[in-house]
Structure 1
Amino acid sequence: MRILTILAALCGTALLSQPAHAAPVWAGAWGYAAADASGADAQTLPPGTYRYRVRLTQAGDALQLTFSNAEGDSALVIASASVASPAGGSGTEIAAGTVHALTFSGHPGANLPQGHALISDPLAVPVRNAQDLIVSVTFSTATRIARTNLGMEMAFAPAEAAGAFTPIRARSYLSLVSVRTAAAPCTVVAFGDSITDGFLSLSAQSRGWPGRLAERMAALPAARRCGVVNMGISGNRVLRPGRATSALDRFWRDVASVPSVTHVVFLEGINDIGAGASEGPGAVAAEDLIHGYRQFVARAHALGITVVGGTMTPALRAGYMSPAKERTREAVNAAIRTGHIFDGVVDFDAAVRNPAAPSELRPEFDPGDHLHPNDAGLRAMGDAVDLSLLAPRR
């Protein structure tokens, strides 16, 4: 009897030690951070339908979408939303017979209050890594948009002209696509300003340097592959509101809300320096930005998220810079390179600077504004990320 008891105990221990199949988890697969629609670039559109073409960076067996009115100026009403396969290699045309309707708490539409986000019910449809989808959302209310789409195919059709879609450039009301997956080794949020957002990028589906990073990740074995969610906002600042609320405040909205986020690649600060004065009380000192970086990292570490910091790219000849501001950029970059602020470092500055004039972009990477790297420069930045810094946790 005693032997049977011991054997039973040993068998129980063996069973407990067997690796259980992990339950499916949700993971971020695509992102587009919300920004305000105020200012001269805003445009009001009548009730109608938006179509967004998105490229996923995670595979799974279900989808869940987030629509954001976080920085809108009025309440909105979603009448319906759906996902579908594209009809071709580009554009927002939908392939016949591929439309899947979304629901919100079982209903086809829902209110989207000012300052809030809305998450759809899970939609059980299999998706592949690097697969393109067309997301459609119909509003029964007018929408006020900002014309600052920085590298994403989208179109709009007013309700009174159903089916007559016209390409537009605007911020997206779709802010996050998550997938349900049996394994999500890591999920990376690319966080920053216009250089992360993809300003002047011609690659509609692979936005900015995060798009190139996603391409590199897609080539890795599934057990080593991270999803990449781009949460850059043109004009964003670290310490105070610029375009959208400050980086420190939007951490909770644009990082913490991404399911299964494990890493952040952070590149921001040039707008803080450029928008400030060259000297005096209105200038942003290197110590100010470094303190802001440490605050961001503290928020991330509280959630167990690794933060990789990127050096700011050259900008001396940009319209809002000056020699004094350039010295601040260089001082901040020197502090980043020490490795004492972030968990790892990507030297974006070294990837795109002109060896003959290190305060400027390489001529072949400068589209003419002396601030935003062109597609070739953004590709070089994406190639500069050491993938070992984004390795899945063991």
Structure 2
Amino acid sequence: MRTVPLLTALCGLALSVPAHAASVWAGAWGYAPADSDAREPEQPPGTYRYRVRLTQAGDALQLSFSNAEGDRPLAIATVGIADPSAATGTEIGANPLRPLTFSGQSGIALPEGHTVVSDPLAAPFRVGQDVIVSVTFTTPTRPARTNLGLEMAFAPAGAEPLFTPIKVRSYLSLASVRAKRAPCTVVAFGDSITDGFLGLSPQTRGWPGRLAERLAALPSARRCGVVNMGISGNRVLRRGRATSALDRFWRDVASVPNVTHVIFLEGINDIGAGKDSGPEATAPDQLVQGYRQFVARAHALGIRVIGGTMTPALHAGYMSPAKERTRQAVNAAIRTGAIFDDVVDFDAAVRDPASPADLRPDYDPGDHLHPNDAGLRAMGDAVDLSALRPAN
């Protein structure tokens, strides 16, 4: 089937979108905000480009930009989207860059702790379509470090901007589309393993990216969008990297339009960052209580939560035999089915049969904690798609 480039489709369409009672907004891509600090390099005023793969189809697009964990107020001058000029990378070639606005204006202030949402842009968008999002800041930025796979570039302000690849956390936090029907939207919620920290594939970002590929192959009535809200270093019970999972539920789950399911994989950082014993150790019942608190928040909004077992990490730098016993105890509690609405056994998908406390050797990139691309794909394949069936 011949596809129409985004910018060709945009020609003649209005940039403002009237309300459509029969349509819904649904999350199509996500990147949860995380904190940066003085150790991160400052970038001068300039333009970021992000390559985004949409997981929902629709007839309009809306973007959110977040400074929720930033260390300074920012100012956005312009935002635009374009078709990429190649199968990979952030180049747009001769493709036109079409502007998005904020309450009708081209720019907007982005204070510390705040998120801003663009006006909708009317155009047809496809499942699996890549778009280049370009955002220009008139202020210096200090973006946080990020995983390896997401494609992005930066160019300092100047007469002839020169874009070079950069690996920092995106200020773009959510892309949503307006659809006549969006059966379900899945938020993949967790830490670095959900974030895809050591995944090298820009086309398939972590296990949520593989899950999105599988869902995209289903008939439209069964197809869910996937929004990745993993943060490397995040914890369930207390602040680690970014605010705790319990506190960021409202920011990174409840804010996603049409969210129907959450796949929750988190807790290894709580265990690893604690002590082996004593009051500074994380006990299994503490994590289980945290999980139940998360589920209570989701159920209050009618969202189903699928709990993922924590993946093997015995020989990771911050683990120990005592902490491994905690991981095993928590996983056993998850597998009972008494905490979450459903369970995905990520542990079983990537563990070494000969040494179940460790990753399979072919899934271990060397740090004994983060699965490589092959391991992340195995995790994405472990999700039972029937658990994501729309409610109606």
If the TM-score is normalised by the length of the shorter chain, which range does it land in?
over 0.9
**Per-residue deviation, 1:149:** 3.5
Distance 1:208 1:106, change over 3 A: same
Give the distance between the partners of 2:255 and 2:368, measured in 1 at CA: 34
Give the distance between the partners of 1:269 and 1:181, measured in 2 at CA: 35
Give the distance between the partners of 1:163 and 1:135, measured in 2 at CA: 16
**Per-residue deviation, 1:145:** 1.4
Equivalent residue for 2:47?
49
Equivalent residue for 1:9?
none
**Per-residue deviation, 1:161:** 5.5
8 Å Cα contact 2:183-2:223 kept in structure 1? yes
Give the distance between the partners of 2:148 and 2:391, measured in 1 at CA: 32
Residue type of the alignment partner of 1:34:
P
1:111 pairs with 2:130: no
Pairs within 5 Å for 1:302-341: 302-341=300-339
Equivalent residue for 1:373?
371
**Per-residue deviation, 1:147:** 2.4
Equivalent residue for 2:282?
284
Equivalent residue for 1:273?
271
What runs of 5+ residues in structure 1 fail to find an aligned partner? 1-20
**Per-residue deviation, 1:219:** 0.4
SS at match of 1:88: coil
Give the distance between the partners of 1:294 and 1:39, measured in 2 at CA: 35
8 Å Cα contact 2:194-2:207 kept in structure 1? yes
Pairs within 5 Å for 1:1-394: 23-40=22-39, 42-160=40-158, 162-394=160-392
8 Å Cα contact 1:238-1:268 kept in structure 2? yes
Give the distance between the partners of 1:44 and 1:202, measured in 2 at CA: 24
Per-residue CA deviations over 1:370-390 (Å, capped at 9, x if unaligned) read 000101000000000000000
Per-residue CA deviations over 1:243-290 (Å, capped at 9, x if unaligned) read 000000000000000000000000000000000001111100000000
SS at match of 2:153: strand
Structure-2-length-normalised TM-score:
0.94
What runs of 5+ residues in structure 2 fail to find an aligned partner? 1-19
8 Å Cα contact 1:48-1:157 kept in structure 2? yes
Distance 1:161 1:335, change over 3 A: farther
8 Å Cα contact 1:94-1:134 kept in structure 2? yes
SS at match of 2:121: coil
Give the distance between the partners of 1:161 and 1:145, measured in 2 at CA: 23
Residue type of the alignment partner of 2:71:
D
8 Å Cα contact 1:80-1:139 kept in structure 2? yes
Give the distance between the partners of 1:238 and 1:126, measured in 2 at CA: 38
Give the distance between the partners of 1:162 and 1:154, measured in 2 at CA: 18
Runs of 4+ in 1 over 4 A off after TM superposition: none
SS at match of 1:360: strand
Cα RMSD over matched residues? 1.0
**Per-residue deviation, 1:95:** 4.2
Distance 1:280 1:50, change over 3 A: same
Give the distance between the partners of 2:95 and 2:53, measured in 1 at CA: 20
Give the distance between the partners of 1:162 and 1:253, measured in 2 at CA: 37
Q: How many residues align?
A: 373
Give the distance between the partners of 2:315 and 2:95, measured in 1 at CA: 52
Give the distance between the partners of 2:197 and 2:147, measured in 1 at CA: 8
Equivalent residue for 2:8?
none
Equivalent residue for 1:13?
none
8 Å Cα contact 1:70-1:116 kept in structure 2? yes
Give the distance between the partners of 2:99 and 2:148, measured in 1 at CA: 27
SS at match of 1:61: strand
